[in-house]
Amino acid sequence: MLQERIADLAKFVEPDRVRKEVYTDPQIFEQEMARIHEKVWIYCGHESQVPKPGDYYTVQIGRQPMILVRGKDRKVHVLYNRCPHRGNMICGDRSGNTGEFFRCSYHAWTFQHDGKLKNIPMMESGYQGTRFGRDNPDCNIKNAARVESYRGFVFASLAADGPTLKEFLGESRIAFDDMCDRAPEGEVEIVPNCFRVIQHSNWKIFLENQLDALHPSVVHQSTGRAAHEVEKDIAKKTGKAPLSYHMLSAFATVTIDKWDNFQTLNYPHGHCILTGYMGLRPKDPDTLAYEKVMHKAYGKKRTEEILGVNIHHVLIYPGLSVQSPLQQLRAVRPLGVDKTLTEIWHFRLKGAPEPIYRRSLAYYNLVNSPATLINADDLENFWKCHQGLSSDGGDWVSFARFHGRDIEKPGGMVETGPNMGTSEAPMRNQMKAWAQFMGGNR
């Protein structure tokens, strides 16, 4: 907690540094939930998660428990997970199918999939002369103020006004375009199993790490080096090594100077893109078979445009990290000032050969699974960062790497300079957006 309260939140953020209380103060966290997570567009799930009427999946938006549900009208709705009678949660399970309607387990009020009241037991006798009745909108399950979908990815905003989803996403839409375009059928479908990780650190620490191109060669060096040694040994004995080893060895072989050859593109609302990725387009039979299917679907020219998209990571502030070339994303659900849930999802390219799915699944399991050394490396550092920030060892967090050398472009976009891919520009961009959101500017 602040020993001397700073009244103006704008004073917490300077161009190259941020006050530690931004990460550790519970009162600031509560304001973040109200001013950011419960106002802007937040990712809820993918349409393929709820393919049939009545299918639902529960999700957290800020402090609000919500339900993503497919209605009889085939539309996807996002409802507050709360019965309007006594406040009981409508859905206690993470996912399932509610059948023809929702039924509250406490007093048997029933609701249509869009939240409208269906029936109250003994309504006429029990509620005659009261304010409750079918025509009272307060008897319905409350809907999220706005729900929109982009290429099957469903977002909700709990604020009635603000930019449209497309306006909010801006250039970060490339995350979903790149992922879907890589599918011969132009769509992806969700892989049902999801990794869920509780991180004992502030939600912003995770987001800042996603486009931190300096840390992989440091934090993951031991894992990458071990994988590289095994990779070389297998190649020496057999003439080649499985691609899966490259997914890990790249953390050692892609050194800091190579990461500097990449670039970050930083956009309004805190969204950021890291260009370049780990060279996962070999000329093996599986890749060639996939390219053949893509040629049939799109033609050779368009296929090259699609497969030539040069991004590794897209961060959609304040709660989504997307690796589109590998068909996976991580959704961030803040639970407390020092507690964060991340949901790690994987997608299948519709129409792509099975080996291509298996390849991206291998990356999902090797790099993003809670059981991997890569994830363990990060989680330890996230926890250590939060513990250090909670101490009296200093008041500021520095984002000064290559500060002052960013290149400003029209429309509010900021590029890192040449050979500055490890710049902390994405962190500066996120905190600039944080300050704007916390000041009420959406």
Residue pLDDT, tens place only, 292-329: 999 999 999 999 999 989 898 999 999 999 999 999 99
Cβ atoms of residues 304 and 312 within 8 Å: no
Measure the N-to-C terminal CA separation of the chain; round to a whole number of Å. Answer: 26
Strand partners, 146: 157
Mean of pLDDT values over 190-203: 95
Instruction: Note the pTM of the prediction, 2 decimals.
Output: 0.94
Residue pLDDT, tens place only, 81-102: 999 999 999 999 999 999 999 9
**pLDDT greater than 60 at residue 219:** yes
| pLDDT of the residue at 152 | 98
Distance CA 299, CA 292 (A): 9
Q: Collapsing DSSP states into helix, strand and coil, what is residue 35?
A: helix
Q: Collapsing DSSP states into helix, strand and coil, what is residue 211?
A: coil
**pLDDT greater than 60 at residue 5:** no
DSSP per-residue string spanning 87-142 = ---S--SSEEE-TTSEE-TTT--EE-TTS-EEE-TTHHHHHTTSS-STT-GGGSPP
Residues in Cβ contact with 192 at an 8 Å cutoff, skipping those fewer than 6 apart? none
Mean of pLDDT values over 186-190: 98
* AA letter at 77: H
* Choice among 223-232, 249-258, 401-410, 426-435 with the minimum mean pLDDT: 249-258
Comparing C-alpha atoms, which of 84, 91, 9 is closest to residue 50? 91
* AA letter at 136: N
Instruction: Give the burial class of 149: count Cβ atoms within 10 A of its Cβ; 0-12 exposed, 13-18 middle, 19 or more buried.
Output: middle
Distance CA 266, CA 304 (A): 26
Residue with tokens 């059948």: 99
Strand partners, 42: 156
| pLDDT of the residue at 279 | 54
- Tell me the pLDDT band of 255, cut-offs 50, 70 and 90: confident
| pLDDT of the residue at 2 | 45
Residue pLDDT, tens place only, 413-437: 999 999 999 999 999 999 999 999 9
Cα angle at 318 between 179 and 40, to 5 degrees?
100
Residue pLDDT, tens place only, 24-77: 999 999 999 999 999 999 999 999 999 999 999 999 999 999 999 999 999 999
Mean of pLDDT values over 252-265: 89
Q: What backbone torsions phi and psi does residue 169 show, to the nearest 5 degrees?
A: -65, -40
Q: Collapsing DSSP states into helix, strand and coil, what is residue 214?
A: coil
| pLDDT of the residue at 244 | 82
Residue pLDDT, tens place only, 356-375: 999 999 999 999 998 899 99
Comparing C-alpha atoms, which of 42, 73, 48 is closest to residue 147? 42
* Average pLDDT of every residue of the chain: 93
Residue 27: how many other CB atoms lie within 10 Å: 12
Mean of pLDDT values over 128-157: 93
**pLDDT greater than 60 at residue 398:** yes
**pLDDT greater than 70 at residue 408:** yes
